[in-house]
Amino acid sequence: MRSRLLLDLAERSAWTGAQAALGVAVTDLADIPVWWAAPVALALASAKSWVAGRLVGRPGTASTLPAAKDPATPPGLGA
């Protein structure tokens, strides 16, 4: 169970870092004030969650982890 939680933590951290970096990159490339990085990252997070909940990972969650690795999967459903 501990490895599933660590995998979940790593997934969340990686996506947050990627969304923040993309938010800053977009504001830099668009030559707009850097405070726009937060709303851009929010839009990216929302889009990622929508896609993950429908096309990737365990259906009905915002996780991109497969059901067998997602700690939110009830025992016996992800194997």
In angstroms, the CA 8 to CA 73 distance is 12
In angstroms, the CA 16 to CA 61 distance is 16
Instruction: Copy the structure tokens of residue 37.
Output: 């990085």
pTM: 0.79
Count CA within 13 A, CB hemisphere, residue 78: 16
Q: CB 26: neighbour CB atoms within 10 A?
A: 16
Which DSSP symbol is given to 59? T
Q: Average pLDDT, whole number, for the chain?
A: 86
Q: What pLDDT is attached to residue 69?
A: 79
pLDDT in tens, 16-68: 999 999 999 999 999 999 999 999 999 999 999 998 888 887 777 888 888 77
- What 3-state DSSP class applies to 53? helix
